[in-house]
Chains A and B, each alone.
Chain A
Amino acid sequence: MNHFALTIVGRDRPGIVSQVTEILFNQGCNLADSSCSILGGQFTMILILGHPEFTNRESFGEAFKPLEEADLTVALHLLKPGGEIRPEIEGDICMISVYGADKPGIVYHVAQVLGEKQVNITDLNTKLVGTEERPVYVMVLEAVLAAGIENDDVNGWLAPIRDELQVDITVRTIPTVEL
């Protein structure tokens, strides 16, 4: 089975998920992982899908044309074999919240520190909240800490950013339990 990554973006309105999934169902696609959300005024869909016969973009023919006619931007690409399989990431899961008065570089500076320390970010969401006069930037990310890295280490690495950017940062691990 070949796997594809499909992204769809368009002004939010009711019926987008239904229109998209009807087409995929009729084409014989299997949806594997997917994540769909409103970002700004846009509804965004990211899907990993499989098809037993389709080998490339052309296999889908004109299937996505109705979506484009409905003002949705559609992008599809074929994954290399195995690209649909989530890698095993060893380590403790940690949530990091960063928030403060909006200013450029919050995401970059935090990501830079984590990247340098080889911390794997597995999820990241940001939102601009607060009022127009006092915009507040909020970022929540989930990362996997390799063996030997503790909460306090991460706190220490992020401490300079706390001062430089005047943001509040909390780091907490979520214990994994077998019940």
Chain B
Amino acid sequence: MTVRSILLYPDPILKQVAETVAEVDETVIAVVQDLVDTMVDSGHSVGVAAPQIGILRRVLVVDVSKSKLGKDNNHGLLEMINPEIIEKSGSKMMREGCMSVPDYTGNVTRAEYIVIEYTDRFGRLRVIEASGFEAVAIQHELDHLDGLLFLDRVSSLKTDLYRRKSQ
């Protein structure tokens, strides 16, 4: 069990594109496990992407099953290697916050429904459909693999960017 610390913007790693995983070996499984441990340890997080713990590989984890918005519609713990959205539709706006950009939240519109293809920790190719909050969470984490933060997606600072409510 290794809980990693979350990199904060302006750490340059957060703005880099992560590398595709060529083979699911022990090092990749270790990254998956660290991401899960880090997410669970934070208490409130529903997802973490590898660049957030300083690793530029295309790996992310998402679990919205314990959150109020996701508890009725989820796949439990998702561990995704080389995730890729192959279909998306609809749109849904949520006010997103990110552990790497503390204190701020912003309105972001994302697809409401996605079909996503990825490799799991056993090296199997998987395809799942996700919708609602889980779909939003996956898209948010996938952005991290491309060096994008929610700040890249807000349309208007005037209405879209707010200091986070005190927790």
Q: Mark B147-167, 1 if CB is under 8 A from A, else 0.
A: 000100000001100111110
Taking a contact as CB atoms under 8 Å apart, the answer to whether A174 and B69 are in contact is: no
Count of A-B residue pairs with CB < 8 Å: 59
CA of A57 to CA of B69, assembled, Å = 50
Chain A residues near B165 (CB-CB < 8 A)? 88-91, 176
Taking a contact as CB atoms under 8 Å apart, the answer to whether A142 and B159 are in contact is: yes
Q: Mark B28-43, 1 if CB is under 8 A from A, else 0.
A: 0000000000000000
CA of A91 to CA of B162, assembled, Å = 13
Chain B residues near A122 (CB-CB < 8 A)? 162
Taking a contact as CB atoms under 8 Å apart, the answer to whether A179 and B47 are in contact is: yes
- Once A86-B163, A174-B93, A174-B95 are accepted as A-B contacts, the answer to whether A179 and B158 lie under 8 Å apart by CB is no
Chain A residues near B98 (CB-CB < 8 A)? 178-179
Query: Secondary structure of the B side of the interface?
Result: mixed
B125-153 contacts to A, CB under 8 A, are: 133, 136-137, 140-141, 150
B36-81 contacts to A, CB under 8 A, are: 44-47, 67, 69
Taking a contact as CB atoms under 8 Å apart, the answer to whether B166 and A177 are in contact is: no
Query: Secondary structure of the A side of the interface?
Result: strand
| Set B94, B159, B163: member contacting A177, Cβ < 8 A | B94
B99 contacts the other chain (Cβ, under 8 Å)? yes
Chain A residues near B162 (CB-CB < 8 A)? 93, 122
| Interface size in chain B (residues, C-beta < 8 A) | 28
| Set B107, B137, B163: member contacting A179, Cβ < 8 A | B137
| Interface size in chain A (residues, C-beta < 8 A) | 17
Q: Mark A44-86, 1 if CB is under 8 A from B, else 0.
A: 0000000000000000000000000000000000000000001
B119 contacts the other chain (Cβ, under 8 Å)? no
- Once A175-B69, A178-B44, A178-B97 are accepted as A-B contacts, the answer to whether A35 and B166 lie under 8 Å apart by CB is no
Determine how close the nearest CB of chain B comes to the CB of A119; give it in whole angstroms. Answer: 16
Taking a contact as CB atoms under 8 Å apart, the answer to whether B99 and A176 are in contact is: no
CA of A179 to CA of B138, assembled, Å = 9
Chain A residues near B150 (CB-CB < 8 A)? 179
CA of A179 to CA of B47, assembled, Å = 6
Listed in ascending order, the chain A residues whose CB lies under 8 Å from chain B are: 35, 37, 86, 88-91, 93, 122-123, 142, 174-179
